[in-house]
A and B are shown apart, each in its own frame.
Chain A
Amino acid sequence: MRCDDARQELLAGRAAGSSDELDQHVRECAGCAAVASDQRALDALLAHDQPHVAGPGFDTRFFARLEAERAAGTKKRALFSMRMWLWALVPVAAGVALLVGRPKRDDAPVAPIETQGAPMLMEALGEGDPDDLELASDLELLEDLEVVQRLDELEAFELLSDIDPAELDRLAAEEGAP
């Protein structure tokens, strides 16, 4: 064993008698023997340090803390368990909501929606169910528009019906119409 290796071991707290190789080197090398002696002296001093012992009431305080920890753990587990149940219920609740909110197709006949006012829109929608509220609202607006337009046409027709045919011929002649 080389001196460097021996001293590394000794200074790291390895006792001289801990390995045959180290022991032999220390016996043969005066320098390393001095280092070993110093280290033994340090160990002897360190041995005077008495370990601190737990003071009175240490166990009582600890077991009180442990009890609180157990109680907190139980509460936490209960909360966790409840949360897990709630999370498990989410898909069930979503399924129920879908079933309740689903438009009735087969049960009761739904009043047909007047689509004549919005043929283009109905074409765009295809044969799909207009269950969207917004869409239904749009359709209603279109229907209203259709009704108003029809009323306008009706009024115009009535105006035309009030015109005298002779007067019409005269007006046409003035305009050069055939």
Chain B
Amino acid sequence: MNDPDAELMLTFCRGREDAFVELYRRYRDRIVAFCRRIVGTDAQAEEAAQDVFIKLYRAREGYAPRSRFSTFLYRIAANHCLNLQARVEHKVVQRGVEVDARPLPGQADRAPAPHAALEQGELRDQLARALATLPDRQRAALVLVHYEGLSYEEAAEAIDVTESALKSLIHRARAAMMHELAPFMQGAAGAGRGSKGARHAM
């Protein structure tokens, strides 16, 4: 397998710590961005990203390049973030608070018009909110494929599901996002169509 990052990891496994630092530099921003899209706050995301790299550091003893290095690293990141989310939701349930403390779906309807939103950065906020309404696995699947550019096969391996299950997760995630972003969709794709096509297709 011609994967320079996997080669770097193997070099690190042989005791060269500078190889680890190079991997950290290559993947830091991507892992921070990934974690931010999965966990709640910037601070939590940065903490989670650091945890991921510490886990990567510890993984040197058992590392074997069975897949691309990026898939291996995203697998660590996805597991870690999904576990964090599960713990947070478990705590919320234990305290008797409503599990979904995220904004209600109706809030998307009160968003400002697309152009103003773009100018004010509110579209980004709305996107983040819409992403946050997705169940954790759907969100992870969508982020891995859409934002991180993993193939279906790689993303499926990263979150430990079959490829068809991954497609199903993405399908549902995109349908939910389309619903959440309906007002913006009308602006983006032309009036009247909105998510009608998606609903028709489902």
User: How many Å from the CB of B133 to the closest CB on chain A?
Assistant: 14
B interface secondary structure, majority: helix
Range, interface on chain B:
35 or more
Q: Taking A42-B178, A42-B185, A49-B147 as contacts, is the C-beta distance between A31 and B124 under 8 angstroms?
A: no
Residues of B within 8 A of A44 (CB): 188
User: How many Å from the CB of B3 to the closest CB on chain A?
Assistant: 23
Residues of B within 8 A of A42 (CB): 174, 177-178, 181, 185, 188
Say yes or no for B36: interface residue by CB 8 A criterion.
yes
In the bound complex, do residue B28 and residue A54 qualify as a contact, i.e. CB atoms below 8 Å apart? yes
Give the segment of A57-65, A90-98, A163-171 that binds chain B: A57-65
| Chain B positions 123 through 159: 1 when the CB is less than 8 Å from some CB of chain A, otherwise 0 | 1100110010000000000100111000010000000
A11 to B177, CA, bound (A): 12
| Chain B positions 99 through 141: 1 when the CB is less than 8 Å from some CB of chain A, otherwise 0 | 0000000000000000000100001100110010000000000
Residues of B within 8 A of A59 (CB): 28
Say yes or no for B29: interface residue by CB 8 A criterion.
yes
User: How many Å from the CB of B166 to the closest CB on chain A?
Assistant: 8
A61 to B28, CA, bound (A): 13
Other contacts beyond A13-B145, A42-B185: 14, CB < 8 A: A7-B201, A12-B167, A12-B170, A34-B193, A37-B190, A38-B196, A42-B178, A52-B33, A52-B45, A53-B29, A53-B33, A54-B46, A58-B50, A61-B50
Interface residues of A (CB under 8 A from B): 7-8, 10-13, 31, 34-35, 37-46, 48-55, 58-59, 61-62, 65-66, 69
Interface residues of B (CB under 8 A from A): 24, 28-29, 32-33, 36-37, 42, 45-46, 49-50, 53-54, 57-58, 118, 123-124, 127-128, 131, 142, 145-147, 152, 167-168, 170-171, 174-175, 177-178, 181, 184-185, 188-190, 193-198, 200-202
